[in-house]
Amino acid sequence: GALVYQYPRRTICKSGTSMRMECQAVGFQATSVAWYRQSPQKTFELIALSTVNSAIKYEQNFTQEKFPISHPNLSFSSMTVLNAYLEDRGLYLCGAREHYNYAEQFFGPGTRLTVL
Amino acid sequence: TQTVSQSDAHVTVFEGDSVELRCNYSYGGSIYLSWYIQHHGRGLQFLLKYYSGNPVVQGVNGFEAEFSKSDSSFHLRKASVHWSDSAVYFCAVSANYAQGLTFGLGTRVSVFP
């Protein structure tokens, strides 16, 4: 079956520091990986969509300078939250999918970021 | 730009009851729709999707959803809920299946015995 792992599951960082999170797809080829954030009591916001061999597309309010993403192959992606502050806390999910018609996104369990 | 609206923030049902969770979207073209479930403290689990074809789609654990272009809706239903169905349900849309998803605010379902 298709599985997505995320590491770490929980992390705490001091305000102003950076934190890297990883996403691994198992059992399928993660041609595209989308990163989302769920802030406390809110829904999921798309941060960026990364497709192997294509440019990473960031949504409004999110930038590469703040959330650099690496997607080097069909099974792995990572994202760093640079210079984290209180408003960056939340659950970060990666959703990965293969590029065949109508393929759904499979999500990992998320990385929960707490900023002190 | 596509948007999605889930009109019910919280739904309370008893075990064995049926439930319908509403989802309405706005977008002018072809649209890819899906439902996900989030149990407390967990990530998202895929339930079902629609892009074309039969407007009634079957998902996991007895869930189904019906697409209506005229109503711009994709409501989720289950004929008989179980206590383990207590969770938050998210409707998600995208302009095509290859893009990132836009999520609704979610509907919390509480199932009582």
Tokens representing residue B71 in the block: 């109503």
Q: Minimal CA–CA distance to B89: which of B2, B3, B7? A: B7
The SS3 assignment for A50 reads strand
In eight-state DSSP terms, residue A92 is E
- Residues 56-95, chain A: which have Cβ within 8 Å of B? 59, 91, 93, 95
The CA distance from B105 to B24, in Å, is 12
Nearest CB to A44 within list B32, B51, B90: B90
Dihedral of CA A37/A86/A20/A79: which sign?
positive
Taking only the tens place, the pLDDT of each residue in B30-62 is 888 999 999 988 889 999 999 889 999 999 999
Task: Please report, in tens digits, the pLDDT of each residue of chain B (113 residues total).
Answer: 778 999 999 999 999 999 999 999 998 778 889 999 999 888 899 999 998 899 999 999 999 999 999 999 999 999 999 999 999 999 999 887 678 899 999 999 999 99
Task: Please report, in tens digits, the pLDDT of each residue of chain A (116 residues total).
Answer: 788 999 999 999 999 999 999 999 999 999 999 999 999 888 899 999 999 888 899 999 999 999 999 999 999 999 999 999 999 999 999 999 987 766 788 999 999 999 99
Kindly report the nearest CA distance between residue B46 and chain A, in angstroms.
7
Task: Give me the phi and psi of B85, to 5 degrees please.
Answer: -80, -5
Kindly report the nearest CA distance between residue A79 and chain B, in angstroms.
16
How do B102-103 and B87-94 pair as beta strands? antiparallel
Q: What is the mean pLDDT of chain B?
A: 93
Minimum CA–CA partner of A96 in chain B: B100
The CA distance from A10 to A112, in Å, is 5
Chain A residues in contact with B7 by the CB 8 A cut-off are: none
Chain A residues in contact with B108 by the CB 8 A cut-off are: none
Question: What residue numbers bound the domain in which B13 lies?
Answer: 3-112
Kindly report the nearest CA distance between residue B104 and chain A, in angstroms.
7
- Amino acid letter, residue B47: L
The whole-angstrom distance between residue A115's C-alpha and the CA centroid of its chain comes to 17
Output the domain CATH number for residue B22. Answer: 2.60.40.10
Domains in chain A: ranges and CATH: 3-10+19-103 (2.60.40.10)
